[in-house]
C-alpha cells in the first residue's frame, strides 16, 4: 500500500517545463535576505492531507539573518505547537508534531521571502521582463521565480518533476504544496517590523 501511494504521488507531481524567457546577461543568482531586522507575521492557515483537514491561526517572529519561531493555533486558540528555525535546521520541543503541517527549512524561508537553498553548481538563469527564473544544480534540484527582486516561487525538483513548491502572490497569500499529497495555505493578516525579540523564544 505504501509503494502504491508513493507511485500515485509521483504520478501527480507535475513535470518540469523549460524555463521561460531569454538567457540572463548576468548569470549570478541575486541574494534575497529577510526583509527588515525583526518581523512579526500573523496569519490564517488551512491544511489538507487526504481526509485530514485542519485550520487555525499562527504567528512567525523572525530576526535577520536566519532565526525564526513559528507558533500554530487551532480554531478557538488551542495551541497546536511551535517550532524554531535557525539557519537550515528546524527544532523545538514538539517540532515533530508541527513538522507534519510545515514545510522543510528552505521552503519555510521562502514563505518569508528569503532565498536560502544549498549552494549548487550549474545555475541557469533566464529573464522575461521584470521576472527572473533560475534552475539550480545539475540535474536541476531547485527552481526559483523572482519578480522585481521579490521571491515569488521556490520549487524542489526530483527526477524532472516538482516534488514540493511554495508559491507567494502579491496579495499576502501563500501556498505550500506536495503535489498529490498535502497542501498548506497561509493568508497573511499582518506583517510588520518592530523591536528585537527576547532571544529565549528561539531556544529549542
Residue 90 sits in a domain of what CATH number? 2.50.20.10
**Can you tell me the distance from the alpha carbon of 86 to that of 134, in angstroms, rounded to the nearest whole number?**
25
Confidence check: pLDDT of 161 > 70: yes
What kind and span of H or E run contains 71?
Answer: strand 67-74
Q: What mean pLDDT comes out for the span 156-173?
A: 93
Which pTM was predicted?
A: 0.89
pLDDT digits (tens, 9 = 90+) for 65-77: 999 999 999 988 8
Q: Could you tell me which residues come within 8 angstroms of residue 82 by beta carbon, excluding any fewer than 6 positions away? A: 69, 70, 71, 72, 92, 93, 94, 98
Grid cell 521556490 is found at 154
The string of pLDDT tens digits covering residues 95-149 is 566 667 788 899 999 999 999 998 888 899 999 999 999 999 989 999 999 999 9
What's the Rg (C-alpha) of the chain?
17
Let me know: does 125 contact 6? Beta carbons within 8 Å: no
What range does the domain containing 110 cover?
Answer: 2-202
All three cell numbers of 199 = 532571544
Which position has the higher pLDDT, 94 or 47?
47
Query: Which phi and psi (to 5°) does residue 162 adopt?
Result: -85, 110
183 Cβ neighbours under 8 A, 6+ residues apart: 47, 48, 49, 175, 176, 177
Confidence (pLDDT) at 8: 43
How many structural domains comprise the chain? 1
Q: How confident is the model at residue 62 (pLDDT cuts 50, 70, 90)?
A: very high
Amino acid at each position: 500500500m505504501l509503494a502504491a501511494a508513493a507511485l500515485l504521488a509521483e504520478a501527480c507531481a507535475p513535470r518540469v517545463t523549460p524555463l521561460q524567457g531569454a538567457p540572463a546577461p548576468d548569470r549570478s543568482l541575486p541574494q534575497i535576505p529577510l526583509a527588515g531586522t525583526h518581523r512579526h507575521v500573523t496569519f490564517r492557515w488551512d491544511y489538507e492531507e487526504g481526509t485530514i483537514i485542519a485550520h487555525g491561526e499562527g504567528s512567525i517572529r523572525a530576526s535577520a539573518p536566519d532565526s525564526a519561531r513559528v507558533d500554530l493555533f487551532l480554531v478557538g486558540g488551542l495551541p497546536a505547537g511551535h517550532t524554531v528555525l535557525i539557519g537550515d535546521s528546524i527544532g523545538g520541543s514538539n517540532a515533530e508534531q508541527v513538522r507534519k503541517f510545515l514545510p522543510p527549512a528552505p521552503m519555510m524561508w521562502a514563505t518569508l521571502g528569503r532565498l536560502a537553498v544549498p549552494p549548487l553548481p550549474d545555475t541557469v538563469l533566464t529573464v522575461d521582463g521584470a521576472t527572473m527564473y533560475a534552475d539550480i544544480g545539475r540535474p536541476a534540484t531547485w527552481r526559483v521565480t523572482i519578480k522585481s527582486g521579490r521571491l515569488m516561487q521556490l520549487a524542489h525538483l526530483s527526477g524532472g518533476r516538482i516534488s514540493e513548491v511554495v508559491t507567494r502572490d502579491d496579495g499576502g497569500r501563500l501556498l505550500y504544496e506536495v503535489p498529490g499529497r498535502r497542501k498548506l495555505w497561509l493568508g497573511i493578516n499582518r506583517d510588520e517590523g518592530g523591536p528585537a525579540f527576547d532571544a529565549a523564544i528561539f531556544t529549542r
